[in-house]
A and B are shown apart, each in its own frame.
Chain A
């Protein structure tokens, strides 16, 4: 019955609705599967699937730039990063006893209820006249043609109007890369030294990673046992 009601709507609404409903249903299924799953490989793969499905959904919501960034960065780079971290760390996660989950479940349900209570105040989906769609966003569309003179408004805002934002983002990426290098080390020496609370350094025989330190050396180090 509801389908007949939908046919009376403008032609664009029905396929968009169907896409929306199916993509969102898929996302919910994948998210629940991530919660249930114990194999870390499966979790990482499902996380990639989740990103890719949401990228598809972004296309149906006209956010094409976001979609290909999400597909490349969210589904691509993130998955590769998580996969490599998983290979360096562990393959399985141990199950959490039920009594440890109750608190988390209560907090999540409460927060979810509070947010659902506020949903009524959100503007209707696709509303042209909502506050979010009225002022500055539409201003960018009106002014890009004459001020920046390129057709892609998102690029114009990203690189010109909010250029400092993008510069800050680049700084964040740079510091993240620097942080990863400092944490993991470039020379394979990471994990061989451990700091004590009072500032003294322990050698790797006394460190918690004593057993691992020998296995963790690279091929070159293994070839030269003296080092």
Chain B
């Protein structure tokens, strides 16, 4: 099952990506197009984060060495390396030979953090353009906009 599963994420991500792309291509409504663009964008994020995953890893927040994790209410020892916040200055457990701690790759996370914020910036510009187009053309359907443009260029007036 593991072998079958190993490429499963990529296949689904490609399907999602193509769904978003299809929405951008096929729909004539500008807001629906932007929603499709968002779906496409989020799928790219999923692809990057999938690549950065390490089996058995934990979030790339360094675990402080020598810390006692205590027990939970039932008296079971807490799982080593679940959530720790180091106060600073402590020594951290790093992955490597002789260490049983593994962290997922932080680099894709950083790249995607930037991409999410930039994605919102482009989305807001696109939506502002849509609102502006609606003010001038009274529609956000691409067909009708093109039709109005055609008439305007032909006769010098719209409507």
Contacts from A to B (Cβ < 8 Å)? 2, 5-6, 9-10, 12-13, 17, 20-21, 24, 27-28, 31-32, 34-35, 40, 43-44, 46-47, 50-51, 54, 57-58, 61-66, 69-70, 73-74, 77-78, 81-82, 84-86, 88-90, 93-94, 96, 100-101, 103-105, 107-109, 111-112, 115-116, 119-120, 122-128, 130, 132-133, 136-138, 140-142, 144-145, 149-154, 157-158, 162, 165-166, 169, 172-173, 175-177, 179-180, 183-184, 190-191, 194, 206-212, 216
13 A-B residue pairs with Cβ-Cβ distance under 8 Å, sorted by A, are A5-B1, A6-B1, A31-B16, A32-B19, A40-B31, A62-B60, A74-B119, A108-B22, A116-B11, A133-B51, A142-B94, A151-B85, A169-B114
Checking B2, B10, B62, B113 against A153 with a beta-carbon cut-off of 8 angstroms, the contacting residue is B62
Please, how many angstroms separate the alpha-carbon atoms of A127 and B60 in the complex?
A: 16
Please, how many angstroms separate the alpha-carbon atoms of A50 and B68 in the complex?
A: 39
Please, how many angstroms separate the alpha-carbon atoms of A51 and B58 in the complex?
A: 22
Say yes or no: is B70 at the interface (Cβ < 8 Å to chain A). Answer: no
Interface of A is mostly: helix
| A201, chain B: closest CB distance, angstroms | 13
Please, how many angstroms separate the alpha-carbon atoms of A64 and B136 in the complex?
A: 43
Cβ contact within 8 Å between B14 and A116: yes
Most buried by B among A82, A84, A207: A82
Known A50-B42, A154-B110, A157-B106; contact A43-B26, beta-carbon cutoff 8 A = no
Interface string of B31-51 (1 = CB under 8 A from A): 110111011001001100111
| B138, chain A: closest CB distance, angstroms | 6
| A164, chain B: closest CB distance, angstroms | 11
Cβ contact within 8 Å between B113 and A65: yes
Known A61-B50, A153-B61, A180-B125; contact A89-B109, beta-carbon cutoff 8 A = no
B residues 13-33 in Cβ contact with A at 8 Å: 14-23, 25-32
Cβ contact within 8 Å between A61 and B157: no
Cβ contact within 8 Å between A31 and B125: no
| A190, chain B: closest CB distance, angstroms | 6
Please, how many angstroms separate the alpha-carbon atoms of A47 and B19 in the complex?
A: 13
Please, how many angstroms separate the alpha-carbon atoms of A54 and B154 in the complex?
A: 48
Cβ contact within 8 Å between A73 and B59: no
Cβ contact within 8 Å between A176 and B124: yes
Closest to B157 in A: A206
Cβ contact within 8 Å between B49 and A101: no
| A31, chain B: closest CB distance, angstroms | 4
Q: Identify 18 new A-B residue pairs, CB closer than 8 A, beyond the known A93-B28, A137-B105, A154-B60.
A: A20-B5, A24-B8, A28-B12, A31-B16, A34-B35, A50-B39, A66-B109, A70-B116, A73-B117, A73-B120, A85-B130, A108-B25, A109-B18, A111-B18, A111-B21, A122-B51, A127-B55, A140-B106
Residues of B within 8 A of A85 (CB): 31, 127-128, 130-131
Known A10-B56, A81-B124; contact A43-B32, beta-carbon cutoff 8 A = yes
The 8 nearest A-B residue pairs measured at CB: A126-B55, A191-B135, A93-B29, A176-B121, A104-B25, A85-B127, A124-B6, A208-B158
Cβ contact within 8 Å between A35 and B31: no
Closest to A109 in B: B18
Cβ contact within 8 Å between A63 and B52: yes
Residues of B within 8 A of A136 (CB): 107
| B22, chain A: closest CB distance, angstroms | 4
Cβ contact within 8 Å between B46 and A57: yes
Say yes or no: is B92 at the interface (Cβ < 8 Å to chain A). Answer: yes
